Amino acid sequence: MTVNVMTSKEVTKKVFNKEKLFVLDVRNESDFNDWKIEGENFEYLNVPYFELLDGVEEIIGKIPTDKEVLVVCAKEGSSVMVADMLSEAGLTVSYLKGGMKAWSEHLEPVKVGDLQDGGEVYQFVRIGKGCLSYMVVSNGEAALIDATRMTEIYLDFAESIGAKITNVFDTHLHADHISGGRTIAEKTGAT
């Protein structure tokens, strides 16, 4: 059978579109219970990777053949191995590129509105952590609000829509969020 690669962007689309997905999470139970990929129509099976070292025979019957299956681990390596074993057992599955690390850092730009006198507002959804940041664009200039430490997405997005980031705002300090605002201001000359 086949092993496919699914990106965080593709999984995010499934969350937004309320698609069905079966997630086999091979991280330790405590990590899975603390935090997982969440989607309205997602189903889950958590079996730690070390329990599958001798093979996947024990779990084959628990994995559906009528919906997409995504194997997830912390950084990708373990999920690739488990996906290969499931494929050899006759299933078609995908693994999450970059694992939960990539999921935690993924930002998805979503247009949320138009400005009255031209321009638009984009929300950057950090879906794996539930954080939001914003870009307000008007007349080729952009203001960035509450940027995360993953700065390239904002710079690339602004460039892709032909906008120059001229202002950066941090509305509050976070206990769990490192701001990328200062870095972006330095790179773009923004206020």
CATH 3.40.250.10 residue ranges of the chain are 3-103
Question: Span 104-128, mean pLDDT?
Answer: 93
The arrangement of secondary structure in 3-103, i.e. its CATH architecture, is 3-Layer(aba) Sandwich (3.40)
Q: Each residue of 87-105: pLDDT tens digit?
A: 999 999 999 999 999 999 9
Q: Catalytic: 131? A: no
- Classify domain 107-188 at the CATH superfamily level: Ribonuclease Z/Hydroxyacylglutathione hydrolase-like (3.60.15.10)
55-65 mean pLDDT: 94
Q: Work out the widest C-alpha separation in the chain, in whole angstroms.
A: 63
| Residue 117: CB atoms within 10 Å | 7
Q: What is the pLDDT of residues 165-186, one digit of tens each?
A: 999 999 987 666 789 999 999 9
* Cα–Cα dist 145/165, whole Å: 11
pLDDT at 134 over 90: yes
Crossing angle of helices 181-188 and 152-160, rounded to 10°: 50
Predicted pLDDT at 130: 82
CATH 3.60.15.10 segments of the chain:
107-188
| pLDDT the model gives residue 129 | 85
pTM: 0.87
Compute the residue count for the chain: 191
Catalytic residue among 6, 70, 73, 135: 73
pLDDT by residue (tens digit) across 67-93?
999 999 999 999 999 999 999 999 999
Of all residues in the chain, what percent carry a pLDDT higher than 90? 91
As a whole number of angstroms, the distance between CA 168 and CA 3 comes to 42
Residue 106 reports pLDDT greater than 80: yes
- Residue 68 backbone dihedrals phi, psi, to 5 degrees: -65, 140
In this structure, how many other beta carbons lie within 10 angstroms of the beta carbon of residue 29? Answer: 11
